[in-house]
Amino acid sequence: MGLRVMLIDDSEADRLYTGIVLERSGAARQVLAFESAREALAALAAGDPPVDLILLDINMPGMDGFEFLDAYDTLPMAPGQGARPAAVVMLTSSPDPQDQRRAMAHASVKGYVTKPINLDSARGLQDMLRA
C-alpha cells in the first residue's frame, strides 16, 4: 500500500535517490518532493497535499529543518483534527547526537535516519509511525 510522503531536502540528488528508494521499497505510494522547507510548509498550511509522513533534512538554506519543525508545530489544525496531519522523520547527513536529541524533542518527530536511506530503513518507516 505505501505512504504518501513529503520529502523536504535542498539536494536534488538526494531527493531523486530517496524517492527511488522509497518507491522501490514499497514504503511510498507517492513522493512529493520539495527543495525548500518554506514551500513545503506553505503547502501543509494550505492543507494540500495531505501526507502521511514528512521526511525532513536538517541543513538547508533559508529555513533549516529545526526552523521548519518550530513552524510546523504551530500550524493550525483543520476542524476535527486532534493531531498534526503527518509525522516527521528526520532524514539527514548529520550523525551528531545533539542534532538527534534536538529533533526527537519535538512531539511530531517519530524517527531519525542518517542518509543515505536504504531499502531496509525505507521499509522501517511505517514501523516508526506506529511507535
Residue 8's domain is classified under what CATH number?
Answer: 3.40.50.2300
Give the pLDDT score at 82.
44
Look at the chain and report how many structural domains it folds into: 1
Tell me, what's the pLDDT at 131?
A: 66
Q: Which domain holds residue 73?
A: 3-130
For the chain (length 131 residues), average pLDDT per consecutive 10? Answer: 90 97 93 96 81 94 96 70 72 94 94 94 84 66
The edge-to-edge listing of strands for the beta sheet with 3-8 is 28-34, 3-8, 53-56, 87-92, 109-114
pLDDT at 77: 60
Q: Who's near 45: CB < 8 A, 6+ residues apart?
A: 75, 76
Residues 6+ apart with CB under 8 A from 40: 6, 8, 34, 54, 68
pLDDT digits (tens, 9 = 90+) for 45-83: 887 668 889 999 999 999 999 999 999 988 876 444 444
Per-residue model confidence (pLDDT) at position 79: 42
